[in-house]
Chain A
Amino acid sequence: MSFKNSASGTALLKNLWQDNPVFRQVLGICSTLAVTNLVLNTLLMCGGLIFATALTSLTVSLLRDYTPKQVRMMVQVLIAAAYVIVVDIAIRAFFPEVHKVIGPYVGLIITNCIIMGRAEAYACKNPPLPSFCDGLGAGIGYSLVLLSIAVVREVAGFGTLLGFTLPRLDLWWHQWTILVMPPGAFFMLALVAWLANSFVVKPANTGGAK
Chain B
Amino acid sequence: MNKRHPAYIVGFMVGLAALFGTAVTGLNLATRPIVERNEKLVRQEALVRLFRLGDPAQLTAAEVVGLVQRRIDESRTLRDPETGWETPLIQAYADDARTQLVGYAVRFRGLGFWAPIEGLIAVSADRQKTIGIVILSHSETPGLGGRIVEPVFMDQFAAGIRVLPVVDGKALYLTASPPEPGSPTYGRNLHAITGATQTCLAMERILNEHLTRFQRAMAAATPAVAARKDGGA
Contacts and interface: CB of A to CB of B under 8 A. Distances in A.
Given A68-B8, A89-B27, A78 B142 contact: no
B194 interface: yes
A61 B219 CA distance: 66
A72 to B, nearest CB: 10
A165 interface: no
A93 B35 contact: yes
Contacts of A78: 16-17, 20
A119 to B, nearest CB: 14
Given A86-B24, A181-B195, A93 B31 contact: yes
Contacts of B194: 177
Task: Tell me what chain A mostly uses at the interface: helix, strand, loop, or mixed.
Answer: helix
Interface residues of A, number: 36
Contact of B42 (A34, A66, A96): A96
Interface in A155-210: 177, 180-182
Given A89-B24, A102-B142, 11 more contacts: A41-B142, A63-B16, A67-B12, A68-B4, A68-B9, A79-B20, A82-B24, A93-B35, A100-B137, A104-B139, A181-B195
B144 A181 contact: yes
A101 B142 contact: yes
A93 B143 contact: no
Contact of A89 (B31, B115, B141, B144): B31
A185 to B, nearest CB: 10
A77 B203 CA distance: 36
Contacts of A181: 144, 195
A79 B3 CA distance: 19
Contacts of A68: 3-4, 8-9, 12
Nearest to A95: B38
Contacts of B8: 68
Contacts of B9: 68, 70-71
